[in-house]
A and B are shown apart, each in its own frame.
Chain A
Amino acid sequence: MKYLMLVGTDPDHTEADAAAAPDIEDWFAYVSGAGKHVVGDRLRPSSAATTVRVRGGELLVTDGPFAETNEWIVGFDVLDCADLDEAIEIASKHSMAYTGRLELRPFWPLDGQ
């Protein structure tokens, strides 16, 4: 089962949380070594985001993300896991689980239900 892991910031954490956060290189070595990592990267901040819509047949291209919030998506990973518990386990070892927040979104394949 594939999960998109959205990596977001979250101002609500302590310095102790930040100090306890594991090294991201270790996480990447662990998750790719386990064969669970499909793809992933950092993302440029929302100032570099572009929103695309077509309305009334007209292409609308606007600067910025969908909505302004306190929390930004700063990266993503695609994980291939047996089930949600395995994905939670992997996410819990990511440094941003300590200083940000991780959202696991299951893939919804077009040939699935």
Chain B
Amino acid sequence: MTDAADVRAALGDAVAAERLRIVAALIRVTGDWDLAEDCLQDAVERALERWPLDGVPDHPSAWLTTTARRRAVDVLRRRQTERAKLREAQALAELSRDLTGDEPGPYGDDRLKLLFTCCHPALPMAGRVALTLRSVAGLSTRQIARAFLVSEATMGQRLLRTKNKIEHAGIGFRVPEPHRLAARTDAVLAVVYLTFTEGYAATEGEPFRDDLAAEAVQLAGLVAQLLPEDDEALGLHALLLLQHARRAARTDAGGELVTLEDQDRGRWDHDRVVAGLAALAAARATGRPPGYYRLQAEIAGLHATAAHADDTDWVRIVAAYDALLTLRPSPVIALNRAVATGFRDGPAAGLAAVDELGDELADYPLLPAVRADLLRRAGRRREAAAAYRDAVASARSEPERQLLERRLREVSGPAGGS
């Protein structure tokens, strides 16, 4: 008999190490996404039965792979007798060999094929995110449903429709042609980034939303590991590590939001900062001109390396925003640049930069809050109060509203007045 805790620990490690490879290989061979997940689940259940009796095998990962593969053979054999199908016969022939079907070369990895398939641009964006979390990250349908605040049935339908589209439209389980690789890699990175921002934007104190951001950091790490030559994959990993490092400091003991400049930098996750800066250095070392994610990582890195808010290198941050605007013009980036200008040259310059943006951002919910902060810094308390009132009205979450109301009280309070 083996101790139950040892079995659980060994099994947990083996699943963490091998789940994705096993599922990706089974999808490649069988084309059946549900079968792949079921076979892995079956292997895990068998391990929970056998390992306490037989002891943990010498190679737990290999044991899981073999058991899942044999399960797939059993299921397909049973199906084949029901109705013989060419695809299943081919799959059976392939399953009789080892599951390590990775082709040689940097793009031969089954896990990479799975990522490109889940993030195919012919799939709806919500489906790409859901399927990536389900099949690549290995979250349950229930977990994904909770993360996106929909019912489990709704998320199950979304996953089913996405898998059906892959099958019916003939989306191949493969890495794109070399001349399409850059654009399709961008599509993969966009899915990971969206997953992260979904988790990061939520500050309602729901623990799982934090997990979503953590999953996105993991996914970014996987993509960077699978595409080590891709500077943007490295840049995205760096960006997410550096942003997520600040997670604990983003709320105070009372659960209220703390802005970057007021955060207790001692509460930043130092290991994540170091890992983020290392990924950023690796992205720079490719020698390619900085892309969309790397530039944002550079900005996050400049914040991460400032010991105090006052030490922040706003000159380089504004320069990075300028480069971002050249690369991908967007009113939201322009607004962020205006904020950085306010720190570099003073609030009056920041306000002028915001006003220059004109009507482009008229409906952007963060605009009143940005103007209010700049007016507060400029000492224009009455105008700041009016802007904070607008900002409270368009706040997107309860913690955001609480922060803005606190600021509103500060500028409306008796301290001097204007």
The residues of A with any CB-CB pair to B shorter than 8 Å are 1, 3, 81-89, 104, 106, 108
Contact (Cβ within 8 A) B172 A82:
yes
A84→B122 contact, CB < 8 A: yes
Give the B interface residue count (CB, 8 A).
Answer: 11
The minimal Cβ–Cβ distance linking A35 to chain B, given in whole angstroms, is 17
Q: How far is the CB of A58 from chain B (nearest CB, A)?
A: 35
Q: Contact flags (1/0) for B176-210 with A, using CB distance below 8 Å?
A: 11001000000000000000000000000000000
B169–A85 touching, CB < 8 Å: no
Set of chain A residues within 8 Å of B168, measured between Cβ atoms: 106, 108
A106 in contact with B177 (CB, 8 Å): no
Q: How far is the CB of B164 from chain A (nearest CB, A)?
A: 10
Q: Which residues of B contact A (CB under 8 A)?
A: 120, 122, 168-172, 174, 176-177, 180
A92 shortest CB reach to chain B, Å: 9
Q: Which residues of A contact B176 (CB under 8 A)?
A: 85
Q: Within the assembled complex, what's the spacing in Å between the Cα atoms of A88 and B122?
A: 10
Contacts of A87 in B (CB 8 A): 170
Alpha-carbon gap, A84 to B121, bound state (A)? 11
Q: Which secondary structure characterizes the binding site on chain A? A: mixed
Q: Which of A81, A85, A86, A89 has the most CB of B within 10 A?
A: A85
Of the listed residues A82, A83, A84, A87, the one surrounded by the most CB atoms of chain B closer than 10 A to its CB is A84
List of 3 A-B pairs having minimum Cβ-Cβ separation, nearest first: A83-B172, A1-B170, A84-B170
Interchain CA distance A104-B177 in the complex, whole Å: 19
A81 lies within 8 A of B177 (CB): no
- Which of chain A's residues have a CB closer than 8 A to the CB of B170? 1, 3, 81, 83-84, 87, 106
Chain B residues with Cβ below 8 Å from A86 are 172
Interface centre among A3, A82, A106, A108 (most CB of B within 10 A): A106
Shortest distance from the beta carbon of B280 to any chain A beta carbon, whole Å? 32
**Nearest B residue (CB) for A3:** B170
User: Can you sample 24 A-B contacts with CB below 8 Å?
Assistant: A1-B170, A3-B170, A81-B170, A83-B170, A83-B171, A83-B172, A83-B174, A84-B120, A84-B122, A84-B169, A84-B170, A84-B171, A84-B172, A85-B171, A85-B172, A85-B174, A85-B176, A85-B177, A85-B180, A86-B172, A87-B170, A104-B169, A106-B170, A108-B168
In whole angstroms, what is the CA distance A82 to B174 when docked?
12
Which residues does chain A contribute within 8 Å of B174, judged by CB atoms? Answer: 83, 85
Give Cα A87 to B171, complex, Å: 10
Q: B172 to chain A: closest CB distance in Å?
A: 3
Give Cα A83 to B177, complex, Å. 12
In addition to A106-B169, A108-B168, 13 A-B residue pairs with Cβ atoms within 8 Å of each other are A3-B170, A81-B170, A83-B174, A84-B120, A84-B171, A84-B172, A85-B174, A85-B176, A86-B172, A88-B122, A89-B177, A106-B168, A106-B170
Taking the nearest CB of chain A, how far is it from the CB of B171, in angstroms?
A: 5
Closest B-chain residue to A108, C-beta based? Answer: B168
Point out the residues of chain B lying under 8 angstroms from A81, CB to CB: 170
The smallest beta-carbon distance between B277 and chain A, in angstroms, is 37
A40 to chain B, nearest CB (A): 19
Q: How far, in whole Å, are A104 and B171 apart by their CA atoms in the complex?
A: 12
Alpha-carbon separation in the docked complex, A108 to B170 (Å)? 11
Q: Compute how far the CA of A82 lies from the CA of B169 in the bound complex, rounded to whole angstroms.
A: 11
**Distance to closest chain A CB from B162 (angstroms):** 14
Q: What chain B residues lie within 8 Å of A83 (beta carbons)?
A: 170-172, 174
Whose C-beta in chain B lies nearest to the C-beta of A105?
Answer: B169
Q: How near does chain B come to A13, taking the closest CB pair, in angstroms?
A: 20
Please, which residues of chain B bring their CB within 8 A of the CB of A82? 172
